[in-house]
Amino acid sequence: MTSILLVDDSKAARMMLQHWLKALRPDFRIVEAADGDSALALMEKESPDRGDWLALIDYNMEGMHGTELAERLFSYIPPNCMALCTANIQKAVQERAEKLGIHYLKKPLNPKKIAGLLAQMEPHLASS
Amino acid sequence: MNLSDIHVDLLKETFNVGVGQAATALSEIAGGEEIVLSVPQIHLLTISELSEQVRTVSGEKLCSVVEEFQGPFQGRAMMLYSERESLELVKLMLGETFPVEQMSEMEGEALCEVGNIVLNACLSAMADMLGFEIATEIPSLMIGHPNEVLMGDEGEAMKDKRVLYLKMDFSMQRFQLQGHIGFFLDFESITQLVACLDEYLNSMLEM
């Protein structure tokens, strides 16, 4: 089963993502974290099979930034199955995501943007 | 403070581009609804003067999403609107399909997220235009008398602090929503700001 990790300090942002993801991919298991440390702790506990997970990660959060988290998640999730979803649209941040090989999605998000992103990430899942 | 006409002009233009991006983001949240923007204004005033100015627009109770930022210069970015408009913003953010009971529970979080998106769009565009990087803090929601909101935790001690205030009004006719986006920069940051503007000007002239 495919699982998707949502990391965003905003509860509202996570709730909206949950809402859209449930509609778009009812079979996905959705797991949430509010910051990088709890996301890492969660993944350690889950010890996921690489290839079964996707991740949507915010950039500005307490503690580590989204790009640092993405890098630290590489042992669990390949870069092309992760996306930085952020309101921080500075070139420097976009370039950081690009360098890591992770997707970049500008907030505000909507179901159409999420569907497009999923279509780009899903071919890299082991099950596809 | 020595902000020349060209600096003021350039600052307005940068801010204009920034708020333009912010309006694009807000319009996207509102399903493509047009956002009308005023021309940018720059004022040099004390916090208590600013508070008085804001009060005439917002009334006694002000809502604000505040985000501190740091880069070559530092300051505070704010999205301000009156309390009666906050629920409209929440509805816009969460969309029609959300259950009302969850909506009220999420009100604060949703307002922070709207502010975060709008303010980051503005700051990012300004940073890119001037060629530097800005780090933003996590947004916070403040509700209260303009004095309380603008003076923050430091309270009365802030009253006579002089700030450079950049502001632009926005309105969305369909939702009868209006507010403004404002930045305030510490007086000490103005020198660094002028240096950034000069550098930008020079790079433009070299082209």
Size of chain B in residues = 207
pLDDT above 90 coverage of chain B, percent: 13
- What are the start-end ranges of the E strands in chain B? 36-37, 41-46, 62-70, 75-82, 135-136, 140-144, 162-172, 177-186
Q: Kindly state the tokens that stand for A6.
A: 């949502």
Q: Which residues of B touch A15 (CB under 8 A)?
A: 94, 102, 106, 109
Contact predicate A108/B25, CB 8 Å = yes
Q: Does B122 touch chain A (CB under 8 A)?
A: no
Q: Does B175 touch chain A (CB under 8 A)?
A: no
Any idea what the CATH number is for the domain that residue B139 is in?
A: 3.40.1550.10
CA pair distance A87, B34, nearest whole angstrom: 20
CA pair distance B69, B135, nearest whole angstrom: 6
Interface pTM, i.e. ipTM:
0.71
Burial A87-111 (b: 16+ CB within 10 A, else e): bbbbeebbebbeebebbbbbbbbee
Q: Which residues of B touch A12 (CB under 8 A)?
A: 93-94, 106, 109-110, 112-113
Render pLDDT for B36-67 as a digit per residue (tens, 0 to 9): 888 888 888 888 898 888 887 767 788 899 99
Residue B1: pLDDT band (50, 70, 90) is low
CA pair distance B204, A85, nearest whole angstrom: 32
Q: Does B106 touch chain A (CB under 8 A)?
A: yes
- The predicted pLDDT at position A96 comes to 95
Number of compact structural domains in chain A: 1
Render pLDDT for B2-30 as a digit per residue (tens, 0 to 9): 688 888 888 888 888 889 889 888 888 88
The answer to whether the CB atoms of B109 and A10 lie below 8 A apart is yes
Q: Which of B28, B124, B137 sits opposite A90 (nearest CB)?
A: B124
Contact predicate A84/A57, CB 8 Å = yes
Which candidate, B45, B53, B5, B10, places its Cα nearest to that of B193? B10
Any idea what the CATH number is for the domain that residue A63 is in?
A: 3.40.50.2300
Number of compact structural domains in chain B: 1
Contact predicate B65/B150, CB 8 Å = no
Tell me the residue range of the domain where A104 lies.
3-124
Written as tens digits, the pLDDT of chain A (128 aa) is 899 999 999 888 898 899 889 999 999 999 999 999 999 999 999 887 778 999 999 998 889 999 999 999 999 999 999 999 998 888 889 999 999 999 999 988 888 999 999 999 999 998 87
Contacts of B97 (CB under 8 A, 6+ apart): A19
Tell me the residue range of the domain where B122 lies.
5-206
The answer to whether the CB atoms of A15 and B106 lie below 8 A apart is yes
| Contact residues, chain A to chain B, C-beta under 8 Å | 9-13, 15-16, 19, 60-62, 86-93, 107-108, 110
